Amino acid sequence: MKQKSQNYGSCFKELRQLAAFKYKDLEAIMSKTGIVKFENGTSNISFEKLAELLKFMGYTLSDFMYLSGESRVDEVYGEKFHIIRYQQGYRDDFFIPVGVNPVRLKLFESGKILLPYDVIDAMLGLMHIPEQDFSYIINGSKDDYFVHYINWLDRIQLREEFAEAEMIQNEAHKYANNQELKVKILEENFETLNYNNEWLELHSQERLTRQYTDYRVLELTAKACHQILNEEEVTEIGDFLFGIELWLEYSLGILALNAWQLPYSLVYAIISDINLHEKEYKGKLIYRRRIVQTAGRCAMTLISRGETQKASDLLSMVHHYAGALDTHVQGLYRFAWAYLDYRNGKIEGQKEMLRVIALFDFLEVPISRDFAQKYYNRHVLNLEES
């Protein structure tokens, strides 16, 4: 226990000195005597006091736990990030807007701490570096694990290969449960050094980072490809999406794949937020693709329910992203507008739907052709026959 106390104290001292804070700078929060005793390992401080001191100096509890060795650091993230930043010529104070000052950046790039994945994504976004490019650098020739599965589910959803969707759902469920089990074990074995239970609870929650959250969201997304999600599951997906501050390939993929079942109000709010930062997304094909997919899929669900005005609003919101897209997404965007016209009583809409199907056939895009044909059969032919 004493050894751990000394370790925590020395870690705090290192952070304080790196940030160039003197004892007098922290006197408004804690006396010099109290800080010195803590740094020497002869006394402990409360969770509230520690959190306040760290925040004042520009750190987080996660930084502290990584530096103290309580959380394992994968150094490759910081090392590869440093290479990108150096090559692109960005200063070490460039990332202050996303909460990363030069000291935290140095700790991250030197492999002493690991920044939260959403923060790394935000830093990449500031440099206009796609998430998949960073994943490529990290993994060599391998795609990001989660992006790979999102792309696979995109194809599965079009082909209606429900057995494969269920397989991915079960695999993601297994990994999500394993991550939860690891957290519980850490909670049982973690010694708090007289810090109160609130610190332990918060620290445990911070361990539920991308690994748990993304596996759980991937599980629900795979399920959404072959089943109707219940209200709680839709809410869980919505909570995840509402927590996204910078939309990148993975999060946009989750949004697009679930758009068929998401509430109109949620999709409308998210696209409105994305449109506030249009320049960040318009220049990236995969981003535009996912945004248009999201609006198109949600719109087609709304049209089938007779909510044509809402569908029209969504399709109009993404019109400026729809240019120069790949054949599949651009064709399905036209298909959605045509379906809207058809449901509004315009005969030309049905003809346009058939023209899109014929175009897919002519361009030899069988996945898109078959998907559009099946959708036409279910929502136009079957409706007319009934």
Task: Identify the residue whose tokens are 């690891």.
Answer: 182
Q: Give the mean model confidence (pLDDT) for residues 45-54.
A: 83
Q: 42: which residues sit within 8 A by CB, 6+ positions away?
A: 5
- d(CA 202, CA 180) in angstroms, rounded, equals 15
200: pLDDT strictly greater than 50: no
Radius of gyration, CA atoms only, the chain: 25
- d(CA 137, CA 353) in angstroms, rounded, equals 42
Q: What is the pTM of this model?
A: 0.63
Q: Give the mean model confidence (pLDDT) for residues 53-63.
A: 87
Helix, strand, coil percentages for the chain (3-state, nearest 5): 75, 0, 25
Please state the φ and ψ torsions of residue 257, each to the nearest 5 degrees.
-70, -30
Structure confidence at residue 63 as a pLDDT band (50, 70, 90): confident
**pLDDT per residue over 122-181, tens digit each?**
888 888 776 766 776 776 544 567 888 999 999 999 899 999 999 999 999 988 887 666
Of 11-15, 32-36, 39-43, 353-357, least confident by mean pLDDT is 39-43
Q: Give the mean model confidence (pLDDT) for residues 324-346.
A: 90
Domain 75-140 has CATH 1.10.260: yes
CATH number corresponding to 2-59: 1.10.260
Find which of 1-5, 126-130, 333-337 is predicted with most confidence, using mean pLDDT.
333-337
SS3 call for 274: helix
Residue ranges per structural domain of the chain: 2-59, 75-140, 326-386
Same fold flag, 2-59 and 75-140: yes
- d(CA 354, CA 373) in angstroms, rounded, equals 8
103: pLDDT strictly greater than 70: yes
Q: Give the mean model confidence (pLDDT) for residues 182-208.
A: 48
Look at residue 197 in the predicted model and tell me its pLDDT. 45
Residue bearing the bigger pLDDT, 2 or 137: 137
Alpha carbon of 176 to those of 53, 120, 236, 292: distances in Å? 34, 22, 14, 30
Q: Please report which helix (H) or strand (E) contains residue 30, including its range.
A: none
